[in-house]
Amino acid sequence: MAYVTIEDRVDRLEALFGQFLTEMALINKRAEEREKAAEERFLRYQARTEEAQREAEERFVRFQDEMRAFKDEMGVFKDEMGVFKDEMGAFKDEMGEFKDEMRHARREMDKKWGALANKMGTIIEDILAP
């Protein structure tokens, strides 16, 4: 395309520059829209992340509270088991004493039954011999 005069060339350059500016404005607008959309996505992601972090912290605090309560319950259980163990020891001692008493009572009864049997065996002699 042959340009006849400098004015034609300048007009042509002005038209091209106008198109360039229009296209650059459009590209700039699209870039700004993409940047805005990316920023909105980032803000949503950040909000979700912060919410998830808050929930995780709350769950952790609840977990710590539950563990503290469990630890306290286990302490109470340990104390109760200590008392139970002591009671069982006392019961075992009482049962040992009871067994010893029963053995002693049985020996005494055996002696009394033996003496009674001896006495019954000599009852006739006692009646006839005096």
What local confidence, expressed as pLDDT, does residue 130 receive? Answer: 59
What local confidence, expressed as pLDDT, does residue 24 receive? Answer: 97
* 2 or 117: which leads in pLDDT: 117
What local confidence, expressed as pLDDT, does residue 123 receive? Answer: 75
Tell me: the pLDDT tens digits for 17-39? Answer: 999 999 999 999 999 999 999 99
Residue 62's alpha-carbon distances to 37, 57, 68, 104, in angstroms, are 37, 9, 10, 62
Tokens 């038209």 map to which residue?
A: 15
Q: What is the pTM of this model?
A: 0.50
